[in-house]
Chains A and B, each alone.
Chain A
Amino acid sequence: QQPVQSPQAVILREGEDAVINCSSSKALYSVHWYRQKHGEAPVFLMILLKGGEQKGHDKISASFNEKKQQSSLYLTASQLSYSGTYFCGTEDSGTYKYIFGTGTRLKVLA
C-alpha cells in the first residue's frame, strides 16, 4: 500500500508557503522526498532517517513523525522553480520494495 499524500494538487503565488503531507498505513523507518519536473526524472531532495528529525535545504524543509507514520514537506517563500510533482518515498517494510507516495502537483505562479 503506497503512502498517501495530501493535497493532491496546489497552486501558489510566488512567495507563498505550502505544506505537503505524506501518510503511511505501515511503519515508516525512513522517508525520502523527491521532486519531478514535467518531462524529467525525479530528483532527490532530502532523507529523514528517524522520528522527530527535521531537515532543511534552502527554503525547503521536512519533518518526520515516526509515531504518526507521517512526514511533511514545507516550502517557504515559494519560487517559480519549485513547480513540479513532489513524491515521498520509503522502503515498504517487510519487502524489498522502494515505494513512492501518490504525489502532489505544485504549481507556482508569478
Chain B
Amino acid sequence: GAGVSQSPSNKVTEKGKDVELRCDPISGHTALYWYRQRLGQGLEFLIYFQGNSAPDKSGLPSDRFSAERTGESVSTLTIQRTQQEDSAVYLCASSVNKEKLFFGSGTQLSVL
C-alpha cells in the first residue's frame, strides 16, 4: 500500500475485555515496530519484528500483551483483559533498513 495502515483508528472497550489492533506495513518493509504513546507523553517501545520473528519482546508491558506477524506483512497486537492504564494511542511503524521509520496514524484505545 501507499503507507502504513492501522485499524481500527479508534477503539472503545470495557475493562477486562480483549482487543486486537492491526497494522498493515508498507509492502516490502521487513522491519515492523509497535509503540505506545500515552496522552502528552513520548513513544514507548513495545516490540520489534524482523520478518516474522520478534527477537526482542522485552518492551511488552505485561503478559497481557502479545503480538504476532504473519507472512512478513500484517501484524496484530493483542491486549487481553484490558485495564484503564492501557488507554493510549498505539502506533505501528515499518522500515526497510531501520534508517527511516514510516508510521501509521495509530489506534486510539480507550478502556472504560
Residue numbers of A with Cβ under 8 A of B are 2, 30, 32, 34, 40-44, 47, 49, 87, 89, 91-92, 95-103
Closest to A30 in B: B99
Is the contact region of chain B dominated by helix, strand, or loop, or is it mixed?
loop
Contact with A along B56-98 (1 / 0, CB 8 A): 1011000000000000000000000000000000010000001
Contact of B100 (CB < 8 Å), options: A2, A47, A97, A101? A47
A-B contact count (CB 8 A): 53
Contact A91 B98 (CB under 8 A): yes
Contact A95 B43 (CB under 8 A): no
> Given the known A-B contacts A96-B50, A97-B48, are A87 and B56 also in contact in the complex, defined by CB atoms under 8 Å?
no
Contact of A44 (CB < 8 Å), options: B41, B50, B91, B102? B102
Residue numbers of B with Cβ under 8 A of A are 33, 35, 41-43, 45, 48, 50, 55-56, 58-59, 91, 98-106
